[in-house]
């Protein structure tokens, strides 16, 4: 199995989740500018959208989209998903929320000229603030880390790199997840440690 990633981008979430799950895989780096794959090949042939992440199974099938890949990892590793009869749907609810309300605002924010970015930046802060209330016990679903935390971690970490001042619990949240062995290993392998 191969996980296609670009160092520091949201594929870091899938990288962390795969390591947390203990699923064996090869990490393949993609240059997002040129769409060249480390070691050769054109990434558009793997994922026509050009976005990372993508997960290639040993039979050649390719799964794309953070929501789908993280949900697949959680299905394989129930301890990385919220529990209860609605657990699966609570996870999809949270992954969809992160993807649409937080993640996809970043490319919009970054594509805007600096003098007109402010409203999109405020919307991003609003949604980080909204989820901050859920982090009281440590993670999005209480005391247990789930694949949704890997996604929110990457986005919160990326936001601080861009100079966003996130609400109070995020400093501890980023530090807590950043100290997990899987996150340490992923950050190291992506050259970010
Ligand atoms: N809908 C995709 C979006 C993923 C995405 O935005 N990936 C960014 C990096 S965080 C990317 O690959 N950008 C490359 C590009 O815009 O060409 C998903 O959630 O997996």
Q: Which CATH number belongs to the domain containing residue 136 in this structure?
A: 1.20.1050.10
Whether residue 171 is found in the same domain as residue 121: yes
Pick the atom of ligand 1 nearest to 35's CA. Answer: 17
87, 107: one domain: yes
Cα of 138 vs centre of ligand 1, distance in Å, is: 27
Q: Are residues 154 and 70 in the same domain?
A: no
pLDDT at 137: 95
Q: What is the pLDDT of residue 108?
A: 97
Return the best residue to mutate from 52, 69, 102, 153 for the ligand 1 pocket (most ligand atoms within 8 A of CB).
Answer: 52
Domain range for 148 is 82-181
Atom 18 of ligand 1, nearest CA residue:
65
Same domain? 103 vs 39: no
Do 72 and 110 have their domain in common? no
pLDDT at 29: 98
Assess whether 24 and 93 both reside in one domain.
no
Q: Say how far apart CA 179 and CA 57 lie, in whole Å.
A: 29
pLDDT at 57: 98
Nearest residue (CA) to ligand 1, atom 11? 51
Q: Quick one: pLDDT at residue 146? A: 98
- In the reported structure, the alpha carbon of residue 52 is separated from the centroid of ligand 1 by a whole-number distance in angstroms of 5
What tens-digit pLDDT sequence spans the chain (193 residues)? 999 999 999 999 999 999 999 999 999 999 999 999 999 999 999 999 999 999 999 999 999 999 999 999 999 999 999 999 999 999 999 999 999 999 999 999 999 999 999 999 999 999 999 999 999 999 999 999 999 999 999 999 999 999 999 999 999 999 999 999 999 999 999 999 8
Residues 110 and 167 grouped into a single domain = yes
Distance 25 CA to ligand 1 centre (A): 20
Residue nearest to atom 14 of ligand 1 (CA): 51
Residue 193: predicted pLDDT? 85
Q: How far apart are CA 27 and CA 52, in angstroms?
A: 12
In this structure, are 86 and 69 located in the same domain?
A: no
- Residues 98 and 176 grouped into a single domain: yes
Which ligand 1 atom sits closest to the C-alpha of 69? 20
Mutate to test the pocket of ligand 1, among 29, 31, 46, 51 (most ligand atoms within 8 A of CB): 51
62 and 100 share one domain: no
**Same domain flag for 139 and 102:** yes
Clarify whether residues 69 and 123 are in a common domain: no
Number of structural domains the chain divides into: 2
């Amino acid at each position: 199995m191969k996980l296609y990633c670009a160092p520091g981008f949201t594929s870091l979430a899938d990288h962390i989740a795969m390591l947390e799950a203990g699923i064996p895989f090869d990490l393949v780096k993609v240059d997002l500018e040129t769409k060249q794959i480390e070691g050769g090949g054109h990434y558009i042939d793997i994922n026509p959208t050009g976005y990372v992440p993508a997960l290639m199974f040993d039979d050649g099938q390719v799964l794309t989209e953070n929501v789908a890949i993280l949900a697949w990892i959680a299905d394989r590793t129930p301890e990385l998903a919220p529990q209860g009869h609605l657990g699966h749907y609570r996870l999809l609810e949270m992954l969809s929320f992160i993807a649409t309300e937080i993640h996809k605002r970043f490319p919009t924010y970054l594509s805007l000229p600096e003098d007109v970015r402010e409203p999109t930046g405020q919307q991003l802060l609003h949604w980080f603030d909204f989820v901050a209330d859920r982090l009281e016990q440590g993670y999005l679903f209480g005391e247990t880390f789930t694949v949704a935390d890997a996604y929110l971690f990457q986005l919160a970490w990326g936001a601080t790199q861009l100079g966003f001042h996130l609400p109070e619990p995020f400093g501890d949240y980023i530090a807590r997840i950043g100290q997990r062995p899987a996150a340490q290993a992923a950050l190291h392998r992506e050259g970010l440690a």
